[in-house]
Structures are given as C-alpha cells and as structure tokens.
Amino acid sequence: MADILPRREEISRQYQWHIEDLYADDGKWEEEFQKLNAMLPMLEDYRGRLGESPQIFLAMLRRKDEINQLAERVYVYANQRLHEDTGNGTYQELAGRSQTVMIRLSAASAYIVPEILALEEGTVERFLEEEPQLAVYRHFLEEILREKEHVLSPESEELLAQAEEMAQGPSDIFAMFNNADIKFPSIWGEDGEPMEVTHGKYLSLLENSDRDIRRAAFESMYETYGKFKNTLAASYKANVAQAVFYARARKYGSSLEAALSGSCIPVKVYDNLIETVREALPLLHRYVRLRKRMLGLEELHMYDLYVPMISGVEMKIPYEEAKNIVLDGLSPMGEEYLTHLKAGMEGGWIDVYENQGKRSGAYSWGAYGTHPYVLLNYQDNLNNVFTLAHEMGHALHSYYSDSSQPYVYAGYKIFVAEVASTCNESLLIHSLMEKADDPREKAYLTNYFLEQFRGTVFRQTMFAEFEKKTHAMAERGETLTADVLCSLYYELNKEYFGDDITADREIAVEWARIPHFYTPFYVYQYATGFSAAIALSGKILREGGKAVEDYKKFLRGGSSAYPLELLRMAGVDMESPQPIREAMGVFEDYLKQLELLSAVKQTDG
C-alpha cells in the first residue's frame, strides 16, 4: 500500500501551531482586515505636511507603524493559513486579499520617504532636537537619509509601489507550482511497495542506504522538473528581470548592489565570500574523495552525497525525543534562553508534520505582538533535529528582538537572519560530539557536520555565484533560457565538487527547484551566517556567561543598528575574510577527524 500523506484534519492538535493566537477565527481576521482598509486613507492626512512641525512628523511615523503592524498580522495569518494547505481555496482568497491590501499600503505610504528626503537640509536633525519623542526613530531616519540618491519623486515611488503586485508574479507562480501543482512519480521501496516522493521526504530518501532508492528518488525529482524547465526558466528570468528593473529605476549599479544596500552591506562582502570559498574548494574535493572511498564506490554520483558514510548507526529520532536533544544541546545558552525555548516547543509555536498540500520546507515567521511561529515538515532523522534547532534559533531571535525593540526595529535584517539559527546548530553538533562514546557514532556525527557545512557554506555559495552570474547576464542583455541556465549550473556544479564525482546530467536543472532564488541574493547569507555562528558559538563555549550576554545583545538588537555593527558588538567582523577562513579551518579539522575515524568503517567492512 502506498505511503499517503495525511489530510490536515488527521494531524493531532498538539502538533499543529496555535494560529488562533493571531486571530481566534476567520471572522476576527475579517474584522481586522476591514479596519485596515479603513485606516489606509489616514496616511493621506500627512501628505505634504511633514515639514510643518516635529509633532506632525512624529504623528505620521506613529500612524505608519500602527497601520504596518496591523497589516503584518493580517498578512501573516492569511498566508500561514494558506501554508497549512496550499490547495485550500478559502485561504488562497484570504492570502490574495492580504497581498492586495499590502500593495495598497505600500502605495499609500510611498510618498513618505521621498517627502522626508525633500525636506530642507537639516530639517530632520532639527526635528530630532526639538521633539524628544522622535529619538526612537533616529536610526530609522539615518537609514532613509543614507539611501537618498536611490529614492525617486513621490509620483515615481507611488508608481513603483503599484507595480509591486506584478513584480511579485514570478514568485507567486513558482510558489503555487512548486507547492500545490507539481507531483513526483512514486518509486519502489525495499519492500516492493510504492513510496511517495515529496519535497518533505526527498532528503530522507537520499539518505537511504539502498542506492537504488536514492537513484530513483533523484531521477523522480529532477526528471519531473526537467519536463517543466522551459516554464521554470521563464519564471526565473522574469524574477531576475524585475530585480534588474527596480535596481536600475533606483539608480543602483546592479541588482546585487540594490539587494545588499538595504542592510548597508558592501558588495565586497558578497564577492569576498565567493573568493574565499573558491580558495577552499580543494577541501571540498578532498571530502568528496573521502566519501567515495568510504562508500566503496567506483563512481560517486550526486545522489550519493547525502547517505551517511558510516553504516550501522541508527539515528531514527522521533519528534518528542528531538525536542529533548535540542534542549540539552543548547544548555550553554543558559537558563533564561532554555525557558523561552521550552515554552515555544510546548506552547503552540510549531506546526510539526507534513500533510497533504502543506507548504514544503521549514521556516520561522510571525507578527509583532504575538509569539513567533515555526513551520516544519518533520521526518524522524538527525537532519530534522537540526532543522528544529535551526528554526527555533530564528524564533528565539524574533522573540528577543520583539520583546526588546519597538515595532520600527523589531524585524532584523536578512544579513543577520541566519546567524542565530546556525549558532544553535553549531552548539548542538558540539554537544552531540561531546556525548558520543561510540567511535562509529562519533564518525557518523562528524560526517553529518561535514554535510551540514557542505550544504550551508559550499552549496549556498555555489548558489550565490549562480545568482551573481545570471543577474549579470540579464544586465548585459543576455537571454536566460533553460539551456543557458542548465549549462551554467552544471559547470558550476562540476567546479565546486571536483573530478571525484560523476556530475549527473539531471543535476543541471537543480536551479529550477530552489525557492530562495525568488528572493534575489538571499542565499549567500546562509554561508556568512554559518561562518559568524561558528565564531559566536566558539566564544560561548570558551567564555560562558559573558559571551552569552554579548550574544543576547545581538539577539535583542533587531534592526536598531546596521547588521555589521550588531555582529561586531558580539565579536565578529564579517567585512574580513577571517570568519570564513576560520570556518574552513573547522571544516578541515572535522575532515581530519573523519579521515582518522574512517578506519572504523573499513574495519567493519
């Protein structure tokens, strides 16, 4: 009998997030939605008046925050409901309505930044001196003034805001295709019964010790994407085009510069990551050689990259056990952090298991004024234990930030978004390694860490290079056809993984299934975040309470300072290649350990 996903209503309530903590029901959401619609025109009351007095200026900022906070709640509820079952027509409608009102809000507030920038020189500084209650907005206003050359006239800003719904089209189309429409052929399991291939189960299938299952899952996934590669290339091309359009409209040198500018990240940080990781590719090639040898394969294929190299170590971990492992692994963070972590695990923050139509992957999200939410598609393996630690790292970052900052600074910038999550992972692997007495288990965990590193630093940097090249091609007027994208991706794959692996032709279409490509230049931050996390977790393990308190200052900081400044407060300088080189040093240390421990596998064999 085929392994069929349960329907949403068949999932136990204790493993569903408490969405009612946002709104008790759809009726309450509707009331707030109508309230939001009624409040939008209130922003017009301040148009053309921002230079009248610091009191009018302050009133506008407060009204904007009030409306944005309400809009955030409306938007998050509708979309999280949709993510529970992307085929649900009711929540498709609510999500669509919330998207539309967000576009209206963006248009209604589009005059604000241009009008602030049009004020007479020194007006903002004078207002800050004359009205003490404006002090909370000082950094917010400094950020606006910093971007002055990239802000257009009020009319042009309003036009760009109105175009956002069209610009969102490629991302919306891909999300609906990838989560609701695409289906993969079932494969035959070890027991001769068909096994369903889904986004949530794919990695578990690649970790299967049966190579035929791994190959079949790989082919099921990529042959299916291959059938739609032209459509997906058109979607990706359109998303790149809208990024290039907005960058040019705002007078940036490139879409890369535009994407990084909002967080005040120099392009050299992005380029430095690619250059430093490329310098370290011999380490990845050495790891691939070790994997090939330890698996005893004449040819290593792409579908062999995830299977544990140490056999006979069973790491089947149910969700309830995973919670305890994470709590124990994060004990260096101290009692306060653990109290919040446990409260989140037990208090309806997490939607745990996969169901029919549920959005794939995992994330942490939420709205200011209520607790964060975490979406999982939990499978009983070690990777999903780390996913739990990772997403709860995001959630606790949001919790600390929301609890410490006013709304205007509560959301942290994307550049630091992956630091807290990967710091949790770094602490967890250290704990598991410390507690592992069995050399085979230690080898298994070492293998796991190296795989996490490969996926988070090497693979995401390869993605980042792919994005940089494709956006640059579009900016030069070159056409991003399916064949062009596949060829570029295939060659990068060969360069990164080296000659000791067979680069299966199917992997050329992997770009077509990466959701983060629809948020341009996001993925590089996984690699920079991982590097920063290694530095921070090392400080926490070495220095204890003092380092934890410094780290909490970072967690509480939200966006009250620029990301690079926040990280420097915690002791990490990401403008230097040093954190990335330190990360590579840790990778090499673990690689050496596995090379020594590989004798365990050979003896067993």
Question: What average pLDDT does this structure show over 305-312?
Answer: 84
Asked, for residue 54, whether it belongs to a domain, the answer is yes
Specify whether 140 is located in the same domain as 198: no
For residue 250, what are its two tokens? 């705002």
Give the CATH number of the domain where residue 229 resides: 1.10.1370.20
Please give the model's pTM, rounded to 2 decimal places.
0.80
Task: Report how many domains make up the chain.
Answer: 2
Q: 280 and 136 in one domain?
A: no
What percent of the chain clears pLDDT 90, i.e. is strictly above it?
A: 80
Write the Ramachandran bin of 381: left for phi over 0, alpha for psi from -120 to 50, otherwise beta.
Answer: beta
How far is the C-alpha of 233 from the C-alpha of 512, rounded, in Å?
7
Whether 506 maps to a domain, the answer reads: yes
For residues 200 and 212, what is the distance between their CA atoms, to the nearest angstrom? 19
- Residue 417, CA distances (Å) to 244, 257, 329 in order: 24, 19, 21
Looking at residues 414-442, what average pLDDT do you find? 90
Question: Do 578 and 549 fall within a single domain?
Answer: yes
Final residue before a domain boundary, out of 167, 202, 229: 167
Look at residue 438 in the predicted model and tell me its pLDDT.
84
Do the beta carbons of residue 175 and residue 515 sit within 8 Å? yes
Q: What's 572's DSSP letter? A: -
List, for residues 20-63, the tens digit of each pLDDT value: 999 999 999 999 999 999 999 999 999 999 999 999 999 999 99
Q: Of the candidates 137, 167, 197, which is a domain's last residue?
A: 167
> Does residue 116 sit in the same domain as residue 263?
no
Q: Is residue 370 part of a domain?
A: no
Question: 230 and 110 in one domain?
Answer: no
Domain membership flag for residue 139:
yes
Please give the residue range of the domain that contains residue 210. Answer: 184-313+413-418+432-605
H helices then E strands: how many in the chain?
28, 5
- 564 within a domain of the structure (yes/no): yes
- Token look-up 């101290």 returns 334
Distance CA 327, CA 565 (A): 30
Q: How far apart are CA 477 and CA 479, in angstroms?
A: 7
Residue 106, pLDDT > 80, answer yes
CB 238 within 8 A of CB 518: no
Q: Which of 219, 391, 467, 510 is catalytic?
A: 391
Pair 189, 292 in one domain: yes
CA angle, 148 then 66 then 81, to 5°: 105
| Domain boundary, last residue among 167, 199, 219 | 167
**Same domain as 111, residue 231:** no
- Co-location of 110 and 247 in the same domain: no
**Residue 93 shares a structural domain with residue 161:** yes
Query: In terms of domains, do 162 and 213 share one?
Result: no
185 neighbors 216 (Cβ within 8 angstroms): no
Q: What is the pLDDT of residues 515-572, one digit of tens each?
A: 999 999 999 998 998 889 998 998 899 999 999 999 999 999 999 999 999 999 998 8
Whether 425 is in a domain gets the answer: no
Q: Are residues 117 and 214 in the same domain?
A: no
* pLDDT at residue 165 greater than cutoff 90: no
Residue 224 is predicted with a pLDDT of 96
Active site residue 391: yes
CA 394 from chain centre, in angstroms, equals 9
Mean per-residue pLDDT over the chain, rounded: 93
Domain assignment present for 392: no
Q: List the CATH number of the domain containing 80.
A: 1.20.140.70
With bands split at pLDDT 50, 70 and 90, how would you rate the model's confidence at 599? low
pLDDT digits (tens, 9 = 90+) for 62-75: 999 999 999 999 99
601 pLDDT tier (thresholds 50, 70, 90): very low
Question: How would residue 3 be classed by pLDDT, with cut points 50, 70 and 90?
Answer: low
Res 192: pLDDT: 84
Residue 10 lies in a domain: no
Same domain for 446 and 568?
Answer: yes
